[in-house]
Amino acid sequence: MSNITISLPDGSERELPAGATALDLASSIGRRLAKAAVAATVDGTETDLNRPLAEGATVAIITEDTDGGRHVLRHSTAHVMAQAVTRLFPGAKFSIGPAIENGFYYDFDLPGAATFSDDDLVAIEAEMRAIMRADQPFVRSEMSMHEAKQLFADQPYKVEIIERVEAAEADSEDSVEIGEGGVISAYRNTDTFVDMCVGPHVPSTGRLGHFKLQRVSGAYWRGNEKAPMLQRIYGTAWESKQALDDHLHQLEEAAKRDHRKLATELDLLSFPHELGGGLAVWHPKGATVRKLMEDYSRLRHEQGGYDFVFTPHLANGKLFETSGHLAWYADGMYPPMEMDNGTYYMKPMNCPMHCLIFKSRQRSYRELPLRLFELGNVYRYERAGTLHGLLRIRGFTQDDSHIYCTHEQLADEIASLLDFVLSVLRAFGFDDFTFNLSTKDPDKFVGTDEDWNEATDALREALERHGLDYKVKEGDAAFYGPKIDIDVRDAIGRSWQLSTIQADFQLPERFDLEYVGADNGRHRPIMLHRALFGSIERFFGVLLEHYAGNFPTWLAPLQVRVLPVATAHEEYARNVVEMLTDAGARVDMVGAGDALGKRIRSSKLDKLPFILVVGDDDVAANTVGVNPRGGEVERGVGVAEFVQRFSDDVAAGTNQALTA
């Protein structure tokens, strides 16, 4: 039997018998690798472990403890879930079941518009475990579209996907679902269950098992509110019991930190149904924190050489035609308002109006870089099913900056922006960052390849100049330019995308922006978009969850509460409040109407940095009892001493924020 030569990612080569598979390759390297393998990448394409390899192929083994490996585990588990549901609910129709971040889901249409109950999830889990114990192989097959429609004739959602591909109307979910080039691929577990999918999958169901079904929700087919409402089951799957347990523990912690729950408990803000979905009102305590955030942002921008601007909440549609938003972003905008002098839209972005400010008069190269800053309200129509408290909202405030610079200034300006962004994020307690460079979507962009290449190279140079590791997200840029996204990791290890730096050659072109250069000629500036918080609302929500409501002293809405032991001590307590107020503290007093223990417990639930208790001894000695959040209780602390200690604590936090 002849041999074939396979190349490995490190450049080495390996000889295998003809007909060998990726699993054979993994086994030839080592037993541990073979045991951990779930799929392979062959010449850049992910594939099943049991598919024969060709001479000269470059092969990388995908292991279960990598992002790619977990994706395979989760997608395979989703297929097993669909198999279990069709066993338990005869006549059920299944649509799509992708792997998603940290898990998977599958959408079902049950007979008679039935819905899944919690007991059903228990039964489905049990059936899935029976399928996994049976160690059923995933067997791949390929067929024509006509053959596929016959095979899935009793599954209308699968047939619709095939017909959309035939009509060249496929979206990204469709391509993931069935394949390319008119060839449909499917995976069969048994004679009674087959699912349409590109793959890859694990070799058999026995490779699965560390999973948990989590919840059921409604989901419109294709997100269309006029389409059928399906039942979506969410689950999570991991490579080991420990990894699964760690994730479930993180979810428990996340539930405790849910900003919507904390916002209600701490009386920070609310989402009145009378306003409509995705719109919040800020209560005094929440508004205090927001003001501190905004004041800090204004101060840093003032120190950073930014000019402050303000723009209206709506504009004539012609503005968004010029900017390209109506051509590329109309689905994310609120419907038009017909007025007597034209069609108006609520603004989804501030950038077109900032371009008008630049264009309002002739500009000189001596003015560049021109840095414009606005805390600007914008409005985006997010679908009801995607709304999530402050993290996905319809009306929000961006800390929006647009910098206009020359080609020669571009790289330095981006590098400076990176320093600025990271220092502000550190000021609020984040120090673990991930950087992503998003490049051009070949099907959704404006401008020339040359402009895009220059902009992308400038962003890449800035990241590398800072020595920052980054990932390239191919095709993930907005239509007008590449970008750097900065993700932060919070106190329980979750990643949040917050800040963005985007290079844009297109809006200056579309708005015909010019400056007069040193040569007296007219030149086109480059525009940098930069949202630091992302939005005030989203950043507040992330911050609230990061601290679990325990804001640092400088940022806490109420910093100190004074509790008199009895009514006789209230006058002294008011004097302590006055001294703290004079020192700049946000402080209140709760009188002795309730028992002291009850008031202390209630104050701790408010997550206050300091609770002060005053009684007879304190009145006599001009002292306080200090109950610091998370610390040991101290008795007999002099009032002046505590005021100084408090002031030092606030100053330390503020100074750290200003020098981060």
Catalytic residues: 351, 380, 398, 400, 402, 483, 529
Rounded-to-integer distance, Cα 455 and Cα 102, Å: 33
The whole-angstrom distance between residue 29's C-alpha and the CA centroid of its chain comes to: 38
- For tokens 């930069």, name the residue: 530
Cβ proximity of 481 and 503 under 8 Å: yes
What is the DSSP pairing of strand 433-438 with strand 470-473? parallel
Task: Please report, as a single letter, which amino acid is at residue 58.
Answer: T
Cβ proximity of 543 and 425 under 8 Å: no
- Can the peptide bond before residue 482 be classed as cis, meaning omega within 30 degrees of 0? no
Write the CA distances from 70 to 87, 210, 238, 283, 457, integer angstroms: 26, 11, 6, 42, 32
Burial pattern 608-638, b for ≥16 Cβ within 10 A else e, equals bbbbbbbbeebbeeebbbbbbbeeeeeeebe
Rounded-to-integer distance, Cα 450 and Cα 38, Å: 40
Burial pattern 228-254, b for ≥16 Cβ within 10 A else e, equals bebbbbbbbbbbeeebbeebeeebeee
Residues 6+ apart with CB under 8 A from 578: none
| DSSP string across 526-594 | EEEEEESSS-HHHHHHHHHHHHTT---TTT-SS-EEEEESSGGGHHHHHHHHHHHHHTT--EEE--TTS
- 3-class SS of residue 324: coil
SS (H, E, C) 72-117: HHHHHHHHHHHHHHHHHCCCCEECCCCEECCEEEEEEECHHHCCCC
Rounded-to-integer distance, Cα 361 and Cα 571, Å: 62
Q: Which H or E run contains 139?
A: strand 139-143
| DSSP string across 251-317 | HHHHHHH-HHHHHHHTT-EE--TTT-TT--EE-HHHHHHHHHHHHHHHHHHHHTTPEE----SEEEH
- 3-class SS of residue 401: strand
**Backbone dihedral region for residue 558 (phi beyond 0: left; psi -120 to 50: alpha; all else: beta):** beta
| DSSP string across 179-191 | -STT-EEEEEEET
Task: Please report, as a single letter, which amino acid is at residue 227.
Answer: A
Write the CA distances from 597 to 563, 592, 617, integer angstroms: 10, 11, 18
Diameter of the chain by CA atoms?
Answer: 99
Rounded-to-integer distance, Cα 615 and Cα 569, Å: 6
Rounded-to-integer distance, Cα 94 and Cα 92, Å: 7
Count the helices and strands in the chain (H runs, E runs). 21, 33
Rounded-to-integer distance, Cα 478 and Cα 503, Å: 10
- 3-class SS of residue 208: coil
